Amino acid sequence: MTNHFKQNFVTQKAEVHLPDVPLTGTVPAWLNGTLIRCGPGQFEQTHASYKHWFDGLSMPHRYTFNNGKLSFQNRFLQSQAYIKDNASGTLNYRGVFVDPKRTFWDKIKALFINDVTDNCNIQTVDDQGTIVIMTELPHMYQLDPISLQTVAKYEYDQKINATMQTAHPHIDPNKGNLIVNYMLKISLFNYYEVFNVRGRAYQRVSRVPVTSPSYMHSFALTENYVILAEQPLKLPGYGRGVFELAFGNKPFMENFVWSGDQPTVLQVIDRNDGRVVTQAETDAFFVFHQLNAYEQNGEIIMDLAAYPNASVLPDFFLDRLRSETNIPHTPAWATRYRIPLGKANSRIDGERLAQMNMELPRINYSYNTRPYRYAYGVSLYQNLPDFPNQLVKIDVTTGETAVWHQPLQYPSEPVFVPNPNGSAEDDGVVLANVYDASKNSSYLLVLDGQSFTQMARGDLNFRIPFDYHGWFYPGVV
């Protein structure tokens, strides 16, 4: 088949401000605020290229709804990686799949001075009014939510010495919009650490020693527990992993090895006292993103987008994404795991929630940590090889699905924005970037959250390379 999406994995260097994006259709009067989306905009330098989608230089962009009007802006994050790489025309920092040529003394120095990229390109989070852009590596920046100017580096009030942290923290509105996150420290004594943050103030919740650390892109949260899906994509144990990271010549992620004959272990950590209260083993799966989790009848219900293995990671090398003959086809499936809380250890199986694949899942976030019914995500039309080319709404209680699909249209992660005056879980709108391959241009799609039909679209006549994640900030105009 023809690769129709490859032109959207091309660098977009232009930075634009569009104060009045033409809208077709109408948006609800209550829709006022800003959607900030994160992803890469630049994939090469004069003398070198970033090989993987995850390493492209960060170009956040935003859509602002204000009294029925729509504006747009994009701007490159002024990270040290962006500044130095563009000045030199080379790659200067270790990234997710980047490892520049380093001398032995460079490697020794890196043991004391963190040499990983500060290219924050994954997601933003609101820390008590400060908008922070994050990546999986231990760097963060503060952004102005309207101009997207890089304000300053953002740091917690104490040094955490993390090797990596997730760019998918949870926000707990029941505890004053507390940020809950987890990080991994790789050393001779590896550990996972769950922590809380409010207004930069860092509070450790739990530290869990681990011999062979797992790569975990996200985690699940309930009212009383954090759940880590310790999948069998791991670093070698007993100091070998830290030695290879320090002195080897592999990019960061290529040091993690998939062992499909090993189980995925769901570690349940008490948010109050930090204890690991139970562990549940299941057949190996790989996961980037969670749907939701909650406690019910002595169990934790944990829903996530599961892959059978980690082959999706090499799918995102840019040479493959631009290929005409080797188009990726690695769907994920919304899957439910029930973890019994009354046992120290258990063996469980997953249950597929719908007969349609789903990635980049989002929910009405006011239902996070609570029983819920609907999830939204991207999907592959007829499960054929392609880049995600449709949006799907799944009823996780019945398995019923609704789909938005149009030929040659490639949507991003859908972001659900609830109606502040509504009572139904799906009363709201769904916002998604869409790449129109027939025009090599992008637009913002607005769907009705209930009927899953188009309400409006804002045509940019400008191309936004495929991005990852976004967050809507009500009232930020």
Instruction: Determine what percent of the chain is predicted with pLDDT higher than 90.
Output: 84
Q: Using CA atoms of 7, 11, 16, 19 in order, give the dihedral in degrees to the nearest 10.
A: 40
Instruction: Determine what percent of the chain is predicted with pLDDT higher than 70.
Output: 96
Please, which pLDDT band fits residue 384 given cuts at 50, 70 and 90?
A: confident
Please identify which residue in the block is written with the tokens 């670093």: 235
* Contact between 357 and 333 (Cβ < 8 Å): yes
Q: How far apart are CA 170 and CA 292, in angstroms?
A: 11
pLDDT of residue 383: 74
Q: How far apart are CA 181 and CA 170, in angstroms?
A: 7
Q: How far apart are CA 206 and CA 51, in angstroms?
A: 36
pLDDT of residue 247: 67
Q: Residue 143 corresponds to which amino acid?
A: L
What average pLDDT does range 100-113 have in this prediction?
58
For 232, list phi and psi in degrees, rounded to 5: -80, 45
pLDDT of residue 103: 62
Please, which pLDDT band fits residue 192 given cuts at 50, 70 and 90?
A: very high
Tokens of 33: 């605020």
| 282: CB partners within 8 A, 6+ apart | 263, 264, 266, 337, 347, 348, 349, 350
Q: Mean pLDDT over all residues of the chain? A: 94
Whether 99 has a pLDDT exceeding 90, the answer reads no
Single out the residue of 130, 126, 152 nearest to residue 139, CA to CA. 152
Please identify which residue in the block is written with the tokens 């637009």: 443
For 142-170, what is each residue's pLDDT tens digit?
A: 999 999 999 999 999 998 889 999 999 99
* Contact between 374 and 425 (Cβ < 8 Å): yes
What average pLDDT does range 90-118 have in this prediction?
72
Kindly state the helix (H) or strand (E) to which residue 82 belongs, with its residue range.
helix 80-88
Q: How far apart are CA 214 and CA 462, in angstroms?
A: 39
For 239-259, what is each residue's pLDDT tens digit?
A: 676 777 766 778 889 899 999
What average pLDDT does range 39-68 have in this prediction?
98
Whether 117 has a pLDDT exceeding 70, the answer reads yes
Whether 105 has a pLDDT exceeding 60, the answer reads no
Please, which pLDDT band fits residue 329 given cuts at 50, 70 and 90?
A: confident
245-261 burial, b at 16+ Cβ within 10 Å, e below that, comes to beeeeebbbebbebeee
Q: Which domains does the chain have, with CATH numbers?
A: 6-474 (2.130.10.10)
pLDDT of residue 113: 52
- Which residues face 234 on adjacent strands? 214, 257
pLDDT of residue 273: 96
* Contact between 107 and 43 (Cβ < 8 Å): no
**Local structure of 319: helix, strand or coil:** helix
What average pLDDT does range 116-128 have in this prediction?
96
What average pLDDT does range 284-288 have in this prediction?
98
pLDDT of residue 326: 78
Q: How far apart are CA 356 and CA 345, in angstroms?
A: 31
Torsion sign over Cα 465, 469, 474, 475: negative
Note the residue count of the chain: 477
Whether 107 has a pLDDT exceeding 60, the answer reads no
Please identify which residue in the block is written with the tokens 């769950």: 194
How many CA atoms are closer than 13 Å to the CA of 68, on its beta-carbon side?
Answer: 4
For 448, list phi and psi in degrees, rounded to 5: -70, 125
* Contact between 177 and 171 (Cβ < 8 Å): yes
Torsion sign over Cα 315, 359, 175, 64: positive
Kindly state the helix (H) or strand (E) to which residue 233 belongs, with its residue range.
strand 233-234
Single out the residue of 132, 128, 102, 104 nearest to residue 118, CA to CA. 132
Please, which pLDDT band fits residue 321 given cuts at 50, 70 and 90?
A: very high
Tokens of 53: 């989608």
pLDDT of residue 385: 81
Strand order in the sheet with 401-404: 359-362, 374-379, 390-395, 401-404
Whether 39 has a pLDDT exceeding 60, the answer reads yes
pLDDT of residue 417: 99
What average pLDDT does range 122-147 have in this prediction?
97
298 vs 189, higher pLDDT: 298
pLDDT of residue 330: 84
**Local structure of 366: helix, strand or coil:** helix
Where do runs of H (alpha helix) occur along 174-272? 240-247
| 192: CB partners within 8 A, 6+ apart | 182, 183, 184, 206, 207, 208, 210, 213, 228, 267
Please, which pLDDT band fits residue 174 given cuts at 50, 70 and 90?
A: confident
Whether 219 has a pLDDT exceeding 60, the answer reads yes
